């Protein structure tokens, strides 16, 4: 990438996002948060962070759902500032980042339409970074076919729907298949776009997106056990990239249980280390105080990749990395808050440390 070209269009915003990174909660601040006894104590501690202005007008006691929403508001405000001040090609890079949220929002609306729920209510539950100009028009659709036609014509996701799905695919039995199919198409497209930007963005984003592809591959495999999803259909959902593409993906498509998944992962040094002491197939924060899952380890490795991206300059990966680090921070804060509100202090340190 031409350094002068990058400076002309993105140097200022890179400085802004590095400033955002410096505002992430530090280890001493996390220690203070974990020692809080009530949600009011937690709110008081968060007043020393970048979330202060978003929490100051919230009445006490504050719920964890409200805390999550206000923290997300802070994230969205910072990201939208970047969007408003971005020019090509960085504006397109930022748009690509939002497509994943758009997919989840559209899937939520499709699910609501299938269950004949009020889509206007669902619109309020959609992630703000996944909004697009014609999204409110989706609420007018009364059938799945109408919704499909609207998305296909008027949304930035039109290409993914056109290439991967038909209106007949949109039914309750297929909803998770649809979600994974769209995310696969998006991930492959985003990866190709990042490669077109040249170095160092290409290599930095390659490491991050390949890890995401492997994470999705493992999750799809584990979550398909005990379902009607055939092994051939399972293979079709795997992103065509990643450290495990194509050899390990071919083998993962044929496995029948967790032990076989583990045997394949152990052939990769980076994933073998992640398996030590983990519970495969479980959600974060299980029954024990020190429960660690493979998903937790993937998050931790992603955090490291995203921290590493700030070690280089003049690339677009810092924008993606800051957003992912901020999302991990929100998960951490909400986890601490849940442990406090549910009086589960023995699990309060089960978060993924950033700095």
For residue range 276-322, list pLDDT tens digits in order.
888 665 443 444 445 788 998 999 999 999 999 999 988 999 999 99
| Overall domain count for the chain | 1
Residue 347 placed within a domain: yes
List the one residue out of 140, 143, 141, 107 whose CA is nearest residue 125. Answer: 107
Residue 65 placed within a domain: yes
Residue 206 placed within a domain: no
For residue range 178-219, list pLDDT tens digits in order.
899 999 999 999 999 999 999 999 999 999 999 999 999 999
* pTM for this prediction: 0.91
Residue 150 placed within a domain: no
For residue range 84-103, list pLDDT tens digits in order.
999 888 999 999 999 999 99
Alpha carbons within 13 A on the beta-carbon side of 132 = 24
CATH of the domain at 41: 1.10.132.50
Residue 217 placed within a domain: no
Residue 64 placed within a domain: yes
List the one residue out of 276, 290, 289, 293 whose CA is nearest residue 215. Answer: 293
Which domain range does residue 46 map to?
1-86+312-355
Residue 222 placed within a domain: no
- Phi then psi for residue 305, to 5 deg, are -60, -40
Residue 353 placed within a domain: yes
The residue with tokens 């249980």 is 257
pLDDT band at 165 (very low <50, low <70, confident <90, very high): confident
How far CA 166 is from CA of 122, 161, 244, 287, in Å, comes to 23, 7, 29, 42
Q: What is the pLDDT of residue 172?
A: 63
């Amino acid at each position: 990438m031409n350094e002068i070209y990058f400076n002309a269009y993105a140097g200022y915003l890179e400085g802004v996002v590095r400033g955002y990174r410096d505002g992430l909660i530090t280890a001493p601040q996390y220690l203070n948060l974990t020692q809080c006894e009530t949600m009011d104590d937690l709110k008081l501690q968060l007043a020393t962070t970048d979330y202060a202005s978003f929490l100051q007008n919230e009445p006490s006691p504050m719920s964890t759902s409200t805390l999550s929403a206000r923290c997300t508001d802070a994230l969205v405000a910072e990201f939208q500032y970047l969007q408003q001040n971005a020019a090509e090609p960085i504006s397109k890079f930022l748009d690509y980042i939002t497509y994943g949220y758009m997919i989840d929002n559209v899937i939520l609306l499709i699910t609501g339409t299938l269950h004949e729920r009020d889509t206007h209510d669902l619109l309020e539950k959609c992630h703000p970074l996944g909004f697009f100009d014609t999204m409110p028009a989706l609420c007018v659709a009364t059938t799945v076919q109408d919704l499909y036609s609207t998305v296909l014509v008027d949304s930035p996701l039109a290409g993914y729907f056109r290439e991967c799905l038909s209106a007949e695919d949109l039914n309750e039995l297929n909803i998770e298949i649809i979600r994974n199919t769209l995310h696969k198409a998006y991930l492959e497209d985003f990866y190709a776009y990042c490669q077109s930007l040249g170095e160092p963005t290409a290599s930095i984003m390659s490491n991050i997106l390949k890890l995401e592809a492997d994470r999705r591959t493992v999750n799809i495999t584990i979550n398909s056990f005990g379902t009607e999803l055939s092994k051939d259909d399972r293979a079709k959902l795997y992103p065509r990239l990643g450290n495990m593409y194509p050899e390990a993906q071919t083998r993962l498509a044929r496995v029948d249980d967790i032990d076989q998944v583990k045997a394949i992962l152990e052939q990769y040094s980076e994933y073998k280390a992640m398996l030590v002491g983990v519970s495969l197939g479980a959600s974060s924060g299980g029954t024990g105080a020190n429960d660690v899952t493979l998903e937790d380890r993937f998050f931790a490795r992603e955090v490291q990749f995203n921290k590493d991206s700030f070690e280089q300059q003049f690339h677009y990966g810092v924008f993606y990395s800051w957003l992912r680090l901020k999302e991990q921070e929100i998960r951490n804060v909400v986890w601490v808050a849940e442990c406090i509100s549910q009086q589960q202090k023995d699990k309060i340190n089960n978060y993924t440390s950033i700095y």
